[in-house]
Structure 1
Amino acid sequence: MTAEYRITESRLGGEPTLVVSAPDDSARAVLALRGATLLSWQVGSEATGHPKELTDGYRDEKELLSQDGVRAGLLAPFPNRVADARYHHDGHDHDLLPGAHGDRLIYHGFARETPFELAHATTAPDSARLLLRTTSIRPGTHPGYPFALDLTAEYTLSADELSITIGATNVGDTTAPYAAGWHPYFTLSRPIDDLTLHIPAHTLIRTDASLVPLPGEDARLPLDHRPTMDFRTPRRLGDAVIDACYADLTPGPAGRIETVLTDPATGEELRVWQYNGYMHVFTGDTLARDPRASIALEPVETMTNAFNRPEHAAALALEPGRTRTFAFGVRYASSETPTAHEAP
């Protein structure tokens, strides 16, 4: 009988986790049920013969609960910031931080701290699929968001790839503003300064000092006018400091938009893929732990502060009874591994 992938229960301190492993332990992922958060993703390395850690996730329960750096957080019902924690929707004003004065920074939604449960799982000799679900987003649960959503996070793990699909179903009776994203930090076991980055984007989203995009078309800057931020031709990161959103992404031959992180010394690559949306890049300079040891490559459906941008209103609107999904993932390739469009 052919061995299959395994799914076992474990804990990170007091937090329940799920461990997914290949039959020969050549691939492994650990997920916390809190936020359906990826804690670790390892793939067998031809160079060492041992599993190689490819993400820089929360290392203990304290880090997970503090959410410092939002490591591998699933971002919903909004990615990145909502300016001043306020927005207007369907004729009503909403305040996500009612009563707060001074610092009104709110970012990355609240799914990342929401308890999920395992709803379904399947295993096979070459992969495992887990469907995590939460029904906790309801009117009155989160200030300033009086909408009812059921969220799912579907993870699929194979020998060299991790795929994720976030799904949201509006189970309320009013249209809800909604968008999703992912906030992973990736590592190839060396400082990011030594790595090469390729972003197939033609436009940079310009922001103010609070990292909120400028109004209207002023937010969109062709990368031809900002060569220091242009990674359409792969180049070394060096000392570049980036916390920026890239737009007008170009799909590759297989239809996927791929942002590629490469270690020139080994030929290893991480191909972060998505089919639509934007790519937000953060070089981790302000992280409390290990700044610039990893890089955040974040597939997101919308730009920052989309809740306050009229041009995003139609894309955000999730009508009662409707479900929307956002799919993305990451593939590891060694120097001997064929790329996605070369694979048989």
Structure 2
Amino acid sequence: MTAEYRIAEDRLGGEPTLVVSAPDDSARVVLALRGATLLSWQVRHGAAGRLKELTDGYREEEELLSQDGVRAGLMAPFTNRVADGRYRYDGHDHDLLPGRLGDRTIYHGLVRETPFDLVHTTTTTDSARLLLHTTSIRPDRYPGYPFALDVEVEFTVTATELTIQIRATNVGDTTAPFAAGWHPYFTLSRPIDDLLLHIPAHTLIRTDASLIPLTGDAALLALDDCPGMDFRAPKRLGDAVIDACYADLTPGPGGRIETALTDPATGEELRVWQDRGYMHVFTGDTLARDRRASIALEPVETMTNAFNRPEHAAALALEPGRRREFGFGVAHAAPAT
């Protein structure tokens, strides 16, 4: 009988994890149940090569619990920041940081620290599929978000690709604001300064000093007017410091939007894809560990502070009984031989 993908339980310190392995050990993925967080994605180089790490995830339980850098965090029900931790929705004011004075920065949603349960797996000779689910998003559970959501995350692992579908169902009786995204860090085992980046975007989102987008159309800057941030043609990152969102993304021939990270010395490439939305890029200059050793390429449904932007109201609205899905992933192309 032909061997299939394997799924095993493990732990990162005291945190439960799942280890997915290809039949020939050519690929390996480790997921933490906390936040349905990708900890590691490795692929083999060549028929007899060793596994190579392609992500820069949490390495220890303490890192996962601290959430420093939000390494591979799934972002929902909001992505990136909400200005001052406050927003107004359906005629009601909400405070995500009640009683907090001073620094009121809140970012990257709620589910990244939420426990998930593994509810279903499917393994074949070519892939493994894992479905994780949480019912933790409930009224009065999280300050400032009085809505009821069931969230599930489906991972599909193959020899060269990792696919993620995040789905939210509104199980409450009021319309909820919801958007999703992913915050992974990628590495090709070289300093990011040496790598080429290609983003098929035509617009850069302008922000204030707190990284909150400017109001209205003032937030939209054509990349023709900002050549230093223009990666429509593959360009070496060099010493560029980036923490920015790109908009007006152009789909490729297959309909998927793809952002590419390439090692020009070998031709090895990662292609981060998404079915819609925006691409946020962060060069990791403020990380507590290994600054600029990896780059965050973040597919997101909406721009930062969408909860406070009227033009995003329709995209955010998740009505009672309705479900919405956001799909994204990453594919690996081996170095040229």
- TM-score for the superposition, normalised by structure 1: 0.97
Identify the residue that residue 312 of structure 1 maps to in structure 2. 312
Letter in 1 for 2:305: N
Whether the 8 Å contact between 2:201 and 2:232 is mirrored in structure 1 is yes
Write the deviation string for residues 25-66 of structure 1: whole angstroms up to 9, x where unpaired: 100100000000000000111297111100000000000000
Alignment of 1:235-250 (within 5 A): 235-250=235-250
Alignment of 1:116-195 (within 5 A): 116-195=116-195
Alpha-carbon distance between aligned partners in 2 of 1:12 and 1:246, rounded to the nearest angstrom: 34
Q: Secondary structure at the match of 2:303?
A: coil
Alignment of 1:37-76 (within 5 A): 37-46=37-46, 49-76=49-76
Identify the residue that residue 30 of structure 2 maps to in structure 1. 30
Question: How far apart are residue 299 of structure 1 and its match?
Answer: 0.1
Q: Does 1:265 align with 2:268?
A: no
Unaligned 5+ residue runs, structure 1?
338-344
Identify the residue that residue 342 of structure 1 maps to in structure 2. none
Alpha-carbon distance between aligned partners in 2 of 1:46 and 1:270, rounded to the nearest angstrom: 16
Letter in 2 for 1:117: D
Q: Does 1:215 align with 2:211?
A: no
Write the deviation string for residues 158-215 of structure 1: whole angstroms up to 9, x where unpaired: 0100000000000000000000000000000011000000000000000000000000
Alpha-carbon distance between aligned partners in 1 of 2:161 and 2:51, rounded to the nearest angstrom: 13
RMSD of aligned alpha carbons: 1.0
Identify the residue that residue 12 of structure 1 maps to in structure 2. 12
Deviates more, 1:294-303 or 1:43-52: 43-52
Write the deviation string for residues 85-140 of structure 1: whole angstroms up to 9, x where unpaired: 00000010000000001100000011000000001000000000000000011000
User: Quick one: percent identity of the two aligned structures?
Assistant: 80
Letter in 2 for 1:277: G
Identify the residue that residue 111 of structure 1 maps to in structure 2. 111
Identify the residue that residue 226 of structure 1 maps to in structure 2. 226
Q: Secondary structure at the match of 1:84?
A: helix
Question: How far apart are residue 275 of structure 1 and its match?
Answer: 1.3
Alpha-carbon distance between aligned partners in 2 of 1:45 and 1:216, rounded to the nearest angstrom: 47
Alpha-carbon distance between aligned partners in 2 of 1:114 and 1:122, rounded to the nearest angstrom: 23
Question: How far apart are residue 336 of structure 1 and its match?
Answer: 4.6
Alpha-carbon distance between aligned partners in 2 of 1:289 and 1:252, rounded to the nearest angstrom: 34
Alpha-carbon distance between aligned partners in 2 of 1:48 and 1:279, rounded to the nearest angstrom: 35
Question: How far apart are residue 335 of structure 1 and its match?
Answer: 3.8
Write the deviation string for residues 276-334 of structure 1: whole angstroms up to 9, x where unpaired: 00000000000000000000000000000000000000000000000000000000002
Identify the residue that residue 202 of structure 1 maps to in structure 2. 202
Letter in 2 for 1:115: P
Whether the 8 Å contact between 2:266 and 2:336 is mirrored in structure 1 is no
Q: For residues 47 and 215 of structure 1, do their structure 2 counterparts lie closer, same or farther at Cα, with a shift above 3 Å needed?
A: farther
- TM-score for the superposition, normalised by structure 2: 0.99
Alpha-carbon distance between aligned partners in 1 of 2:334 and 2:65, rounded to the nearest angstrom: 34
Alpha-carbon distance between aligned partners in 1 of 2:35 and 2:222, rounded to the nearest angstrom: 35
